[in-house]
Amino acid sequence: MSGTEHTASAGAGVNDGAGVSRTERPVGGGVTVRVPAKVNVRLAVGAARPDGFHDLANVFLAVSLFDEVTVTPAATLTVTCEGPGADLVPLDRTNLAARAAELLAARHGISPDVHIHIAKDIPVAGGMAGGSADGAGALLACDTLWGLGSTRAELLDICAELGSDVPFSLVGGAALGTGRGELLTPLTVGGEFHWVFALADGGLSTPAVYGEFDRLTAGRAVPVPEASPALLEALRTGDATALAATLANDLQPAALALRPDLAGTLAAGLAAGALSALVSGSGPTTAFLVKDAGTAEAVAKALIESGTCRAARVAGSPVGGATLL
Ligand code: C5P
């Protein structure tokens, strides 16, 4: 299954000014890993912890929008990126793919001398874990290129160090993330769920959205986060109508406070026939659960025509995690 784009998104070809072409493609001898985006069907957020993170009950579902990360031996660690929004992707050591290569190499006492090329299709800064996907992809690709044979547990440990969503990008499927989202329990999904994602102009900063969550909940008792049995049962039985009734994102009021225009996108998707709508993760991408593939195409078209989003993508779920190509 693969995502379908409904508008021609602005694409690649941007030079970052540091002499690195974002469309430069690796040649031969490389290892490529494909990694999915995610949507949170339940993002329950607890109070801020002393370390600044929030305890979560985060139900992840991997969806069929993918980045491809290719690593090839090089004189030094470099990152290039092509695809929609590539000009927004950092190419320095802050890129999670670069950090993944550095962390893995450091653990094995070797140099992270690779060229990492990211073919990007996951919305950038969109609340769909695109950066996390690139981190997980680079980690698996480097482990393979360098012949390290790390265990799944060793890779997951590095993923958790890279970021809260990175472990899920590695494993895919469906999972409940607790702690700050990095402690995963796999979930059974009994059928295919169909989605439309409305892409917004610009991005939202995840720390800014959590900061707004803290501001909105200040002085109130924030309940211990949990995923409802009804939601887990809807996933287990593959029942889209039941899942639609339980979708919820505690970050949504914060994302809407920072981006009030997203309310119009949510309303447009619901008016077009989506079963349910919510902000994806920290946004600004909005997610629409629909009953079948045909409805997905119709809702995507209606969203574009509503003028409330930049583009709309159709995708299915669940899909597997980081996969060697
Ligand atoms: O883990 P990650 O680096 O992706 O998190 C980015 C930011 O999102 C954190 O610095 C924090 O501000 C916020 N965050 C949080 N609680 C979580 C996950 C992320 O507050 N469970």
In the predicted model, what is the mean pLDDT of residues 89-103? 97
pLDDT classification of 29: cutoffs 50, 70, 90: confident
The one-character DSSP state at 191 is S
* Residue minimizing CA distance to atom 19 of ligand 1: 53
Please tell me if the CB atom of residue 206 comes closer than 6 angstroms to any atom of ligand 1. Answer: yes
Please tell me if the CB atom of residue 212 comes closer than 6 angstroms to any atom of ligand 1. Answer: no
pLDDT over threshold 60, residue 302: yes
Q: What is the number of the ligand 1 atom nearest to the C-alpha of 45?
A: 21
Q: What is the pLDDT of residue 1?
A: 42
pLDDT in tens, 137-173: 999 999 999 999 999 999 999 999 999 999 999 999 9
Please tell me if the CB atom of residue 168 comes closer than 6 angstroms to any atom of ligand 1. Answer: no
What proportion of the chain, given as a percentage, has pLDDT over 90? 90
- Distance in angstroms (rounded) separating the CA atoms of residues 179 and 23: 38
Closest CA to 285 of 218, 216, 203: 203
Q: Is 165 a catalytic residue?
A: yes
Rg (CA), the chain: 19
- Distance in angstroms (rounded) separating the CA atoms of residues 54 and 280: 17
In the predicted model, what is the mean pLDDT of residues 168-193? 98
Q: Please say whether the beta carbons of 164 and 54 come within 8 A.
A: no
Least confident stretch, 10-19, 190-199, 256-265 = 10-19
Of 164, 169, 176, which is best to mutate to test ligand 1, by the most ligand atoms within 8 angstroms of its C-beta? 164
Please tell me if the CB atom of residue 56 comes closer than 6 angstroms to any atom of ligand 1. Answer: yes
Q: Is 38 a catalytic residue?
A: yes
164 C-alpha to ligand 1 centroid (Å): 7
Please tell me if the CB atom of residue 318 comes closer than 6 angstroms to any atom of ligand 1. Answer: no
pLDDT classification of 28: cutoffs 50, 70, 90: low
Q: Using CB atoms within 10 A of its CB, is residue 158 exposed (0-12), middle (13-18) or buried (19+)?
A: buried
Tokens of 74: 């090089």
In the predicted model, what is the mean pLDDT of residues 114-127? 96
Question: H/E element holding 156?
Answer: helix 152-162
Question: H/E element holding 324?
Answer: strand 323-324
Please tell me if the CB atom of residue 99 comes closer than 6 angstroms to any atom of ligand 1. Answer: no
Q: What is the pLDDT of residue 78?
A: 98
pLDDT over threshold 60, residue 240: yes
In the predicted model, what is the mean pLDDT of residues 294-302? 98
Q: ∠ at Cα 183 (68, 255), nearest 5°?
A: 70
pLDDT over threshold 70, residue 23: no
User: Which position among 143, 165, 239, 250 bears the catalytic label?
Assistant: 165
Of 43, 53, 224, which is best to mutate to test ligand 1, by the most ligand atoms within 8 angstroms of its C-beta? 53
Closest CA to 247 of 214, 201, 212, 290: 290
Q: Is 216 helix (H, G, I), strand (E, B) or coil?
A: helix
Q: What is the pLDDT of residue 286?
A: 98
321: amino acid identity, one letter: G
Q: Please say whether the beta carbons of 171 and 321 come within 8 A.
A: yes
User: Which position among 38, 120, 121, 250 bears the catalytic label?
Assistant: 38
Please tell me if the CB atom of residue 125 comes closer than 6 angstroms to any atom of ligand 1. Answer: no
Q: What are phi and psi of 261, to 5 degrees?
A: -65, -20
Q: Quote helix, strand, coil % in the chain, to nearest 5.
A: 35, 30, 40
195 C-alpha to ligand 1 centroid (Å): 25
